[in-house]
């Protein structure tokens, strides 16, 4: 009974903590898309796409796309908020109506016009190949047998696919421009293809050490997009605002500020400590989101997992069968696939929109519950069956036996495995970056897209994970010792 009382205290304490941090869950989780007049529109953007969209040294979204949209909306007086995510995830979010619009250097193509409605074009640029300065690749013919890095979902990807057979090169796909450039600069890939203005900005500001080859390919118009036949008023407002800022000179000032001769990209410090100091506020916000999502997920997973675990060891074939089915399905499905299904699939099938935070907690909780259920089952079955038989002989029923005899001992056995599962859940939060949740890993990616200091930044992010997990491990071991000592 002492153990049960302590569990109750810890559970109540956990609930209080969860309640206290619920407010923090809204960080990085914009509201569901606007349906009525006066509500806030959610606009997806790729925050790793300088100079069109990126996070500046102050942690604020900046770039041509961001400033043009802000200026146009200021004219029209509409409410909006940006949701940074990868380009491909932003496309899926717009397709499944998770967001109201998307502005991310998005080329207007016939294929995309079948699904989306586009604004009037606000910029025109083609795609270009680039290689390392010391590369012997001078022409497209030299790419035969080589590897070309591309960014998924982009027009550059489509152009590379069309040229791959003709020039005999292979393609490696990346989610963002920074990793694509890095792959070429470290020698894993021989070339990259990207929108000319984006790559020229990175090269001219000295952030990327590459050189162009060949001519600019397939110049495309870029536009702001909404889902087809939805949010027409938003599209019209953007078009009207765009015309206004083009006429009053604001548009030219924005373009000049990012692409003009005097455009100055604030250079990031290259040192490890300078990187840590400069980006500490953003990293701490990402860490806070990681912790909040982890705690909520493990609490919900524990509730579901205990129920499933008891079903798993019950004498009812139906309950046991349902529990086994749930566990097998969740353990057989890759976590990233399930996250995509919850965020994009549910929205498309059931017209239910989740914020990235809600979808992340839901996916992690449901998936982790399967593993918690097995921990519960293992703990219960590890208790000597003779004790259950003895309690029955004393007149205790099944419920009383489980509650007073089996579970107190099983909890002691489960604790180490449960601690390990909590740590795994915390690390799995990094997967949620694919749906736009700005947790610790996504924060690192966004910073790298601006600084191109991937080595230092991934080391910093890794160390933060190690420190926080080590602290949690020691706290968990302390709790484990207290529980098992019966104090």
Digits of tens for pLDDT over the chain (487 positions)? 444 455 445 444 544 444 444 444 444 444 444 545 567 899 999 887 888 888 887 778 889 999 999 999 998 888 899 988 878 788 888 888 888 999 988 889 888 899 899 999 999 988 999 999 999 999 999 999 999 999 887 888 989 999 999 999 999 998 778 888 888 988 899 999 988 888 888 888 777 889 999 888 988 899 999 988 888 899 999 999 999 999 999 999 998 888 776 665 555 556 778 888 888 888 999 999 999 999 999 999 999 999 999 999 888 899 999 999 999 999 999 999 999 899 888 877 877 778 888 999 999 999 999 999 999 999 888 888 888 888 878 888 888 888 888 888 888 888 888 888 888 899 889 899 888 788 899 888 888 877 777 888 899 999 999 999 898 888 877 877 777 665 4
Handedness of CA 119, 102, 284, 9 (dihedral sign): positive
For 335-405, where are the alpha helices, taking DSSP H only?
Answer: 335-340, 346-350, 356-382, 385-393, 398-401
| 48-49 and 116-118 strand pairing | unpaired
Cα–Cα distance measured from residue 71 to residue 186, given in angstroms and rounded to the nearest whole number: 39
User: Rg for the chain (alpha carbons), in Å?
Assistant: 26
Burial letters for 202-238: b for 16+ Cβ neighbours within 10 Å, e otherwise? bbebebbebeebbeebeebbbbbbbbbebbeebbebb
Percentage of residues in the chain with pLDDT exceeding 90?
37
> Tokens in use for 388?
């259950």
| Distance (Å) of CA 458 to CA 3, 279, 283, 445 | 42, 12, 12, 9
Residue 363 is predicted with a pLDDT of: 94
Phi, psi angles (nearest 5°) of residue 125: -155, 150
pLDDT in the model for residue 237:
92
- CB–CB of 148/132 below 8 Å? no
130: how many CB neighbours lie within 10 A of its CB?
26
Q: How far apart are CA 446 and CA 455, in angstroms?
A: 14
pLDDT attached to residue 270: 64
| Beta-strand relationship, 61-62 and 53-55 | antiparallel
Alpha helices for 28-82 (secondary structure H): 64-76
State how far the Cα of 179 lies from the Cα of 184, in Å rounded to an integer. Answer: 9
- Is the Cβ–Cβ distance between 116 and 124 less than 8 Å? no
Distance CA 336, CA 48 (A): 21
Taking the C-alpha atoms of residue 278 and residue 316, their distance in angstroms, rounded to an integer, is 59
Strand partners, 222: 107, 123
Q: Confirm whether pTM is higher than 0.85.
A: no
In Å, how far from its chain's centre is CA 89?
A: 9
Closest residue by Cα to residue 439 from 359, 344, 366, 371? 359
* Residue 363 to residue 346: CA distance in whole angstroms: 11
The position carrying tokens 């979808």 is 359
């Amino acid at each position: 009974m002492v153990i049960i009382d302590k569990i109750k205290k810890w559970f109540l304490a956990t609930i209080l903590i969860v309640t206290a941090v619920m407010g923090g869950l809204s960080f990085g989780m914009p509201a569901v898309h606007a349906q009525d007049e006066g509500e806030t529109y959610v606009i997806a953007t790729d925050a790793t796409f300088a100079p069109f969209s990126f996070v500046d040294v102050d942690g604020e979204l900046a770039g041509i796309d961001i400033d043009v949209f802000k200026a146009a909306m200021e004219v029209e007086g509409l409410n909006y908020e940006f949701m940074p995510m990868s380009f491909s995830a932003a496309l899926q979010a717009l397709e499944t109506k998770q967001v109201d619009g998307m502005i991310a250097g998005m080329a207007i193509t016939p294929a995309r016009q079948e699904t989306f409605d586009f604004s009037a074009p606000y910029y025109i640029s083609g795609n270009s190949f680039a290689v390392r300065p010391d590369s012997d690749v001078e022409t497209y013919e030299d790419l035969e047998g080589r590897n070309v890095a591309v960014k998924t979902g982009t027009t550059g990807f489509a152009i590379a696919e069309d040229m791959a057979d003709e020039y005999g090169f292979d393609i490696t796909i990346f989610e963002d421009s920074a990793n694509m450039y890095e792959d070429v600069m470290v020698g894993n890939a021989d070339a990259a293809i990207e929108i000319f203005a984006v790559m020229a900005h990175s090269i001219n500001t000295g952030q990327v050490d590459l050189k162009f080859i060949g001519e600019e390919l397939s110049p495309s118009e870029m536009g702001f997009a909404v889902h087809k036949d939805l949010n027409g008023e938003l599209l019209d407002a953007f078009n009207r605002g765009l015309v206004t800022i083009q006429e009053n000179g604001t548009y030219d000032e924005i373009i000049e500020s990012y692409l003009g001769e005097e455009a100055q990209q604030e250079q990031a410090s290259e040192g490890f400590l300078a990187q840590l100091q400069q980006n500490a506020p953003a990293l701490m916000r990402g860490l806070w989101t990681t912790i909040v999502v982890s705690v909520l997920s493990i609490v919900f997973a524990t509730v579901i997992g205990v129920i499933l675990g008891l079903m798993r060891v019950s004498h009812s074939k139906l309950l046991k069968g349902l529990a086994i089915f749930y566990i097998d399905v969740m353990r057989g499905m890759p976590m990233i696939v399930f996250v995509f299904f919850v965020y994009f699939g549910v929205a498309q099938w059931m017209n239910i929109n989740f914020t990235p935070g809600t979808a992340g907690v839901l996916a992690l909780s449901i998936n982790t519950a399967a593993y918690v259920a097995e921990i519960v089952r293992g703990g219960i079955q590890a208790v000597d069956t003779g004790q259950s038989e003895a309690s029955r002989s004393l007149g205790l029923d099944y419920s009383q036996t489980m509650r007073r005899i089996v579970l107190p001992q099983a909890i002691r056995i489960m604790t180490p495995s449960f601690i390990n599962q909590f740590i795994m859940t915390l690390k799995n939060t990094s997967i949620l970056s694919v749906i736009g949740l700005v947790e610790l890993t996504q924060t690192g990616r966004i910073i790298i897209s601006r600084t191109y200091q991937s080595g230092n930044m991934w080391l910093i992010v890794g160390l933060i994970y190690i420190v926080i997990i080590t602290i949690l491990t020691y706290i968990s071991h302390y709790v484990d010792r207290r529980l098992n000592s019966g104090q």
